């Protein structure tokens, strides 16, 4: 009797947790469903209401004035910032995970601090630096890029380090036992093993860069990125084309992740 009760209790708690979890996921996806829906809306409006179905926004996303320029700028900055942050961050992650050096705890704090600083503080301090260094008139692409590499860096270090410290050292030792030198061991064993972690970190860096508004807005000068464009139109009529970009970003990222998963499974089977 009690055993049945306990079992029933466990079933309820088990499924209750899952039920709550699914509700929370629904909460996370509710606005995304709106974004997808609104990408098919046929008029720009202030109230952000669905007025009627059309495919026009998808066939001609650039019809919203200035938007595609902003998207292009965000893509350029995103790609460059991703390359920069991934390169610097991966090197740092290797140092942190694989090498002994003095000042390690200071380095740890230094890497954690940017993640623990409000964006408004980082943005305003960079602006203060650029202004006092006499660059107030030259704010733009370069200053945005500098800022983006800075705030993406810590996230890359943390992501790659997590991958490195979860790795089995035995494989590298085996390679060395089989007379591979350090260089060969690195390129043939270590790097391929860490690579998925680096890709994950790069994706994270790109999405952080592409999406940033608060810091970018402070150091952008006259340049306009996509989030700045969205902010600008959010006070006026909201063109449905911005939702096309939002939906397309989501689709591309899901595609990338699915492809990565397919490659991984294929490799595991081989």
Partner 1 sequence: MTAPAPFPGGGGADDQQQPPPPRRSRTGYLLLLPGTLWLLLFFIVPLVTLVSTSLYDPAGTLETGYQLTFAFGNYVDAIDDYATEFTRSLLYGGLATLFALLLGYPLAYAIAFRAGRWKYVMLLLVIAPFFTSFLIRTLSWKMLLADQGVIVEVLRFLHILGDDGRLLATAPAVVLGLTYNFLPFMVLPLYASLDKIDVRLIEAAGDLYASPPQAFRRVTLPLSMPGVVAGTLLTFIPAAGDYINVELLGTPQQTMIGNRIQSLFGAGSYPAAAALSVTLMLLILAMVMLYIRRAGTDELL
Name the residue nearer to partner 1 (CB basis): 20 or 55: 20
Alpha-carbon span 210 to 75, nearest angstrom: 7
Q: Give least dist CB 188 to partner 1, A.
A: 18
The CA-based angle 118-120-124, given to 5 degrees, is 125
Q: Give least dist CB 75 to partner 1, A.
A: 13
Q: Give least dist CB 118 to partner 1, A.
A: 3
Q: Give least dist CB 267 to partner 1, A.
A: 12
DSSP-based three-state secondary structure for 179: coil
DSSP-based three-state secondary structure for 45: strand
Alpha-carbon span 158 to 94, nearest angstrom: 11
Name the residue nearer to partner 1 (CB basis): 56 or 211: 211
- 137 burial (CB, 10 Å; 0-12 / 13-18 / 19+) is exposed
Q: Give least dist CB 63 to partner 1, A.
A: 18
Token representation of residue 104: 């390690």
Name the residue nearer to partner 1 (CB basis): 83 or 162: 162
Token representation of residue 181: 């030198």
Q: Which residues of 229-249 are buried (b: 16+ CB within 10 A; e: fewer)?
A: bbeebeeeebbbbbbbbbbeb
Name the residue nearer to partner 1 (CB basis): 83 or 260: 260
Name the residue nearer to partner 1 (CB basis): 54 or 94: 94
3-state helix, strand, coil in the chain (%, to 5): 80, 0, 20
């Amino acid at each position: 009797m009690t055993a049945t009760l306990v079992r029933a209790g466990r079933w309820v708690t088990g499924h209750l947790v899952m039920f709550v979890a699914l509700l929370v996921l629904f909460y996370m996806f509710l606005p995304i469903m709106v974004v997808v829906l609104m990408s098919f809306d046929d008029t720009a409006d202030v109230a952000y209401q669905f007025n009627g179905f059309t495919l026009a926004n998808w066939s001609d996303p650039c019809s919203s004035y200035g938007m595609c320029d902003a998207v292009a700028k965000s893509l350029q900055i995103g790609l460059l910032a991703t390359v920069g942050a991934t390169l610097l961050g991966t090197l740092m992650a290797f140092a942190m995970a694989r090498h002994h050096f003095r000042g390690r705890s200071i380095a740890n704090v230094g890497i954690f601090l940017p993640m623990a600083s409000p964006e408004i503080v980082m943005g305003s301090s960079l602006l203060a630096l650029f202004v006092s260094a006499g660059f107030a008139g030259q704010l733009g692409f370069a200053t945005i890029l500098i800022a983006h590499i800075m705030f993406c860096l810590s996230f890359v270090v943390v992501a790659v380090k997590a991958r490195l410290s979860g790795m089995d050292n035995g494989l590298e030792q085996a390679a060395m036992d089989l007379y591979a030198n350090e260089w060969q061991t690195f390129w043939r064993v270590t790097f391929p093993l860490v690579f998925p972690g680096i890709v994950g970190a790069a994706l994270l860096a790109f999405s952080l860069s592409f999406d940033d508004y608060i810091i970018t807005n402070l150091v952008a000068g006259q340049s306009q990125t996509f989030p700045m464009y969205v902010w600008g139109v959010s006070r006026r009529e909201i063109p449905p084309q911005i939702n096309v970009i939002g939906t397309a970003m989501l689709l591309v990222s899901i595609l990338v992740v699915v492809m990565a998963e397919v490659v991984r499974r294929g490799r595991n089977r081989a």
